[in-house]
Amino acid sequence: MLTMTPWPVANDHGGEGESMSGVRSRGEAVRKFILESLEHHPRDIVRVTVEHFGITRQAAHRHLQNLVEEKAVIPDGNTRARVYRLAPLSEWKKVFKVVPGMSESQVWLEVAPHLGPLPENVRRIWQYGFTEMFNNVIDHSASPTVVVNVSKTAASTEVVIQDAGVGIFRKIQEAMGLLDERHAVLELAKGKFTTDPKNHSGEGIFFASRSFDDFQILSGKVYFSHDLADDEDWILEDEEKPLNGTSVTMRLNNHTSRTLAAVFAEYADADHGFTKTVVPVRLAQYGDDRLISRSQAKRLLVRVDRFRTVMLDFAGVETIGQGFADEVFRVFAREHPEIELMEMNAAPEVVAMISRVRNAS
């Protein structure tokens, strides 16, 4: 159990009239903020704390050092390049053999105790995400084994599920006849995709990626990440160290107020159907590519006719070509009047091009 030693902060504002209980309460608030913010600010946590509380740099650093002494935070590197990370409170790892008739629910019962005590809404997210991802291993990976890692800190819990199977992106690439494994990431991001529609809805990865604070998939040379804080998806490639099989990493704040019901409701209609999707347009471009052609637009629009509302998220896209815009916002929109097609996070040049082709229809 992590214990917080009260740390005087009477000089944080230079005042002398604050009661000891007030000082203690403020000190606990500062340390709680550091623990919750450290994962996103491993290098500048002192600066962020100073700005948030309006205290001195020396006071913020004292709180950080207090957490280091309590072994809640671990420093790494020399003074000028030092980074801080949360110390694991608990870690657990097990290799499961994948056998016929294996149930992800039974595996969950073995894994759940190692997550420790959590609020009910948090536990439900973990149960949903874990069982969905582990079921994918059982039904799709053809892997003989799967490794589960659980690591818990004072702020969050991380679970990694890694198999040694065919690789999720490669399997989707082959099933859809795609030219590139990266195109598989775009299909997963849209939702309602599965290589086994008879037994799966294709909703698991879509909703899991939007339920956790961080959701990552590494397979082959392709790395897909969805960061809920920034609400963005992105792809990286690792040419030197391709991963055989698939690794899924999920991280969630231990005290998030998020609920599964709210996540599902965001993409549901009045009948609770999964009718809305957000398509991260940036996943259709790679490296220095620009979205200019009709073929790129057609690839972006594959299967979006399965939804009633399609939000095209242009975050990270600086410009689009006339042919790309025309194919999406005039040709497709005219052929599918039943679909509500909207753009979001569009840069001024993107907005101008969209307006141009819409006005031409």
Domain boundary pick from 86, 112, 137: 86
Distance (Å, whole) CA 286 – CA 271: 37
> Same structural domain for residues 250 and 289?
no
Residue 296 placed within a domain: yes
Query: For residue 359, with 0-12 CB atoms within 10 Å meaning exposed, 13-18 middle and 19 or more buried, which class applies?
Result: exposed
How confident is residue 14, by pLDDT bands cut at 50, 70 and 90? very low
Q: Is the pLDDT of residue 18 over 90?
A: no
> Same structural domain for residues 237 and 148?
yes
- pTM summary value: 0.74
* Residue 194 contacts residue 202 (beta carbons within 8 Å): yes
Residue 12 placed within a domain: no
CA-CA distances (angstroms) from residue 159 to 70, 134, 147, 244?
25, 11, 10, 19
Residue 13 placed within a domain: no
Residue 269 placed within a domain: no
> Same structural domain for residues 99 and 217?
yes
| Domain range for 280 | 275-360
Q: Is the pLDDT of residue 5 over 50?
A: no
> Same structural domain for residues 82 and 195?
no
How confident is residue 197, by pLDDT bands cut at 50, 70 and 90? low
> Same structural domain for residues 175 and 254?
yes
352 Cβ contact partners less than 8 Å away, ≥ 6 residues apart = none
* Residue 13 contacts residue 60 (beta carbons within 8 Å): no
Domain boundary pick from 263, 297, 312: 263
Residue 68 placed within a domain: yes
Domains in the chain: how many in total?
A: 3
Residue 246 placed within a domain: yes
Average pLDDT, the chain: 84
Residue 247 phi, psi (nearest 5): -120, 125
The strands making up 309-313's β-sheet, listed across from edge to edge, are 276-280, 309-313, 340-344
CATH code of 60's domain: 1.10.10.10
Point out the least confidently predicted range of 42-56, 149-163, 199-213: 199-213
Point out the least confidently predicted range of 15-24, 75-84, 118-127, 313-322: 15-24
- pLDDT (tens digit per residue) in 30-54: 988 998 888 889 999 999 999 999 9
Residue 2 placed within a domain: no
213 Cβ contact partners less than 8 Å away, ≥ 6 residues apart = 156, 227, 228, 229, 251, 252, 253, 256
Domain boundary pick from 86, 103, 127: 86
How confident is residue 276, by pLDDT bands cut at 50, 70 and 90? confident
> Same structural domain for residues 205 and 323?
no
CATH code of 131's domain: 3.30.565.10
Residue 5 placed within a domain: no
